[in-house]
Structure formats: structure tokens, C-alpha cells
Amino acid sequence: MSETGVPQSDVRLRLDIAYDGSAFSGWARQPGLRTVQGALETALATVFTRWGEPPLLTVAGRTDAGVHATGQVAHLDLTASQWGALTAKAGSGPGRSPFDGLVRRVNGIAAPDGDVVVTRASVAPDGFDARFSPLWRRYTYRVADADAPRDPRRRGHTVWYPARLDPAAMERGALRLLGLHDFATFCKPREGATTIRTLQEFRWDREPDGVLVARLRADAFCHSMVRAMVGATIAVGEGRFDAERLEELRLAETRTSEFKVAPAKGLTLTEVGYPADEELAERATQTRARRGTPDGGGTVGG
């Protein structure tokens, strides 16, 4: 810090974000399309329009079109002048934070109807990288099968499946996928990108409302991996093949037409897990080295 209290270098902020993905063409900015990144970065550009180049977002997991989030995380770097402008606008009232106004303005500009919301903004710890520092990402997937009621209030976040599914069989299939594997069977190929991941958790439960909910956690997910694995276990639950066949498909490490990729709307990114502050930088370095690929092994929840 200088004597005026203004930092001499960039200040990294962490944003916690939630969104309904129904009206978005995914996270990543795309020309001519409404995306979550595009909406938020446009809002940030408006907020900081008088203070140089607008800040850009780096995200923990680039979700696909139609995928939702309640626990998305991103970071941005503010210049000294941008940080000074932000803190100057905060005022000195009790309980006031320099981020209160930022969150309010970004949310108002990015999505007046509220389908994307910055839930929290904070100064990131040293070494924090939203994309490379995480230990894991967690998703849920909701399916209302023939035994579950149809709740029209949740139709944008729950897949209505016409057949009766066996959650015990789906659980057996999910268990066959746990661990460190090459998940090429379940990933859309990206040139030069690794498909090796550690799937730490995958289970199916029938909730009290009758809806089947999958819970998945991994160090990272490659493109379409979550929805492909969900689709594969749904095929097991419907009796089209058994859990052993699912393991055979995984071992083949080849895309297949034996199951369908599940629709996007049932999927929600719920949480991103980070190590202790003092371990953030080391974790980011390890992840970059391990995923030395064109896309950095970035996560895509699709």
C-alpha cells in the first residue's frame, strides 16, 4: 500500500455467483449471444468505465448452455485506480463495505430480472485463482421419473423422464465410475486436452418429494462429462444395460451411442472447494502443471 492507502498493484477480487441458465448460452462469452460471462463483464465495464480497461472474469467452471449454478466462483483483477474508485464510493457509514455498491450495481446492470446474481464479493487471498486453485467441484442433477410428481415450479431445473427408474441400479452404476480414470467415454474431445479426472463422489438418492437427485464431485470435469455420466446411469436405471457394462464402456475410453447425454436443464453447479489460504498458490501451480493443455483442463459442467 502507498501512504494514501491505494495499492501499488492489482487487487484480486473473488465473486460468488448464482444463475438460472435457462436463458443463457452458457458461461463463456460468445459474439451475438447472451452468456453469463458476457452479462457480468458488460456490467463491470459500465461500473469501471472511467478507469481504464474493464476487468475480465476467470471462472472456476465454464458451464454449458442451460446449466444452472448456485455456487459458481470467479475472480477479477482491479487496477490501483479501479480499486481506489471502488473504495472511494463506499462511504464511511457503519457496516458499509466497498463491495456493497459493486454487487448492487453489477446485479442491476447484468440482469435486472435476476437470472444471474453476484451473491458476494470479497478481496481474494494471496495466491487465489478461481480456475486453478480448486480441489473439487460439486454438481447436482434432478430427474423426475414415472414415480415422481411433476412440479411445474421446478420444470426449468428438473428433467421429466417418462420411464420408471431404479435408483439402486443407478447407484451401482455410479460406483463403477469412481476414482482416477481416463473419462474419454464421457467427454466431448478437445484437441490436446486431457480427459483424466478423479471422480470423488457420485451417488443417486430419491428425495422426499420423489425426485431422483444425483450428486457428483470431482477435481474437475471435462466437456459434457457430468451429463454423459448421468445419462449412462439413467440407462442402467431403466434396465437397458447393467452396471458391469457401464464399467466396460468406461474402460473402452471411446465415445458411444449406447446411452444419451442427459439434458442440460437438470444440472446445477452447487459448490467449488478450495484449500486453506496458505495452500492456494501451490495448488494452482500443481493444477497448471498437471493439466498442461490448451484449455488448461478447465471445467465445463455440461
CA torsion sign for 102, 105, 109, 110 is positive
Helices (H), 57-201: 80-88, 98-110, 167-175
Please report, for the chain, how many H helices and E strands are present, in that order. Answer: 7, 10
Q: Which amino acid is at 113?
A: D
Exposed (0-12), middle (13-18) or buried (19+): which is 57, by Cβ within 10 Å?
Answer: buried
- Distance CA(215)–CA(123), nearest Å, equals 30
CA atoms within 13 A on the CB side of 228: 23
Q: One of 64, 129, 145, 219 is an active-site residue; which one?
A: 64
Q: Is 100 a catalytic residue?
A: no
User: Quick check: 254 and 230 in contact, CB under 8 A?
Assistant: no
Which residue do the cell numbers 457420485 mark?
202
* Cβ proximity of 41 and 59 under 8 Å: no
Dihedral, CA atoms, 39, 43, 48, 50, nearest 10 degrees?
Answer: 100
77: CB partners within 8 A, 6+ apart: 10, 11, 12, 13, 55
Query: Would you please indicate which residues are annotated as catalytic (active-site) residues?
Result: 64
